[in-house]
Amino acid sequence: MEFAELFGSFGDVFGSTEGVRVFSAPGRVNLIGEHIDYCGGRVFPAALSLSNTVLARRNGTRKVRMYATDLKIKAEFDLDDIDAARSLRWGSYQAGVAKELAGAGVVLRGADMVFDSTLPFGSGLSSSASIELATGLALLSLADNFSEMRPKLDNVQLALIGQRAENRFCGVNCGIMDQFASAMGKAEHAILLDCATLEYEYVPLKLGDYSLVLANTHKKHTLGASKYNERRAEVEEGLKLMHRALPEKQFANLCDYSENDFTDAKRVLDTEPLIRMRVEHVIRENARVNKAAEALKTGDLARFGLILKEANDSIRYLYEVTGDELDAMFEEAQYFDYCLGSRMTGAGFGGCTVNIVPTALTQEFCAGLGKRYEARTGIKPEFYVCAVGDGARELSI
Ligand code: GLA
């Protein structure tokens, strides 16, 4: 929605627009480094210009009252009984963030908030992290002790608060990648993030005559209901096996092990073939991230694309989190020779693929791939040419 329309909507729901402030936080695309953030790996996401915009102001009560422009639903929770909001159909991410902020010492005020999302929900582009970050920044900015708390709660800390909200309040055992990208994104850059230390580096997205095209399978993934938490348990099992196989190396994270370590541990890993597959994905994917970042830094897009395809095979056959629709989207993209690389992005089980396509041919690609995908699955997909934007921030109005 345009700003004027959004303010109109706020006025309709909450009476007037006096004192309203505007906050925004983006979704993300992950270029490579999938399902390894929770194994202490390196990931390579970029923030999108697709985002959640939040209009917010204090309301003089102890309630946070919310309205979603896309779903057209209202929800509220009480700052003195945030736990009651666990059952909300929409609004529990916001409540979880409020609870974590309060736990960190933020003196929260009741607020009226309108949420406007340009991110497709449940499409693997981190709409939930974007809600968490926009909410976190808004509630913190409206808090009584904002000037005391903001230096302690910078955007990296807000990302951790968002992750904890999702882990503890919403029951999804996610890693830090999505919230970090939403908090710390930078226009025209990808973020090379070490999830074990939170050290990061911005890498210019030097794509030359190429663009990133997101292909939405329109197969919804529901993270909570998916096998996400099951995969996490499997890699914990994998870490124990690595400890047993290489007792001299008691590393804290699976991604601390090298590809050679994986080979050395093979005899023990072979006793648990399924766990071995998961471990192989994690260790090799972590190595691939470094290679992919190097290729991008040196402008070698062809190599970057090939590594992306390799990563897709790994997440598909070793980690098994793709599914028919993502597989169809990936396979049909191979028909277009000029597409340098393609892979699923995000948690999987539906959602999007990301594709490297000559900018001049994006329309042709979307139309052609759309037709092929629909003929094969019966589902109409959607495409977005990626614009890489900034992280969570207050917008001046
Ligand atoms: C989801 C999670 C992230 C990450 C990805 C897979 O998006 O929120 O933490 O694990 O899946 O890479």
| Per-residue pLDDT reduced to its tens digit, 275-293 | 999 999 999 999 999 999 9
What is the distance in A from the centroid of ligand 1 to the CA of 377? Answer: 25
Query: Nearest residue CA, atom 9 of ligand 1?
Result: 175
Q: What is the rounded distance in angstroms from the CA atom of residue 229 to the CA atom of residue 171?
A: 9
Q: What is the pLDDT of residue 221?
A: 64
- φ, ψ for residue 286 (rounded to 5)? -60, -40
Atom number in ligand 1 closest to CA 128? 8
Amino acid at 388: V
Whether the CB-CB separation of 388 and 188 falls below 8 Å is answered with yes
Q: What is the pLDDT of residue 224?
A: 45
Kindly give the number of the ligand 1 atom that is closest to the alpha carbon of 175.
9
Question: What is the pLDDT, as a whole number, of residue 397?
Answer: 83
Atom of ligand 1 lying closest to residue 347 CA: 11
> How far, CA to CA in Å, does 248 sit from each of 22, 176, 251, 260?
53, 29, 9, 14
- Select from 178, 232, 320, 344 the residue to mutate for testing ligand 1; criterion: most ligand atoms less than 8 Å from CB: 178
User: What is the CA(13)–ligand 1 centre distance, in A?
Assistant: 34
Q: Whose CA is nearest to atom 8 of ligand 1?
A: 174
* Mean pLDDT, the chain cut into blocks of 10 residues (397 residues total): 93 97 98 98 97 98 97 97 94 98 98 96 92 98 98 98 96 94 98 98 95 94 70 97 97 98 98 98 98 96 98 98 96 98 95 98 98 98 96 95
**Closest listed residue to residue 366, CA positions, set 382, 344, 345, 342:** 382
Give the residues across from 11 on adjacent strands.
none
Verify whether residue 178 is a known catalytic residue: yes
Give the global pTM.
0.97
Residue 222: predicted pLDDT: 61
For atom 10 of ligand 1, the residue with the nearest CA is 35
Domain 3-203+389-395 falls in which CATH fold?
A: Ribosomal Protein S5; domain 2 (3.30.230)
Contacts 24+ apart (CB under 8 A), 155-158: 155/183, 155/184, 155/391, 155/392, 156/180, 156/183, 156/184, 156/198, 157/104, 158/133, 158/183, 158/392
Residues with CB under 6 A from ligand 1: 30, 34-35, 37-38, 126, 174-175, 177-178, 346-347
Residue 228 alpha carbon, nearest atom of ligand 1: 11
Which position among 178, 194, 264, 390 bears the catalytic label? 178
In the reported structure, the alpha carbon of residue 78 is separated from the centroid of ligand 1 by a whole-number distance in angstroms of 30
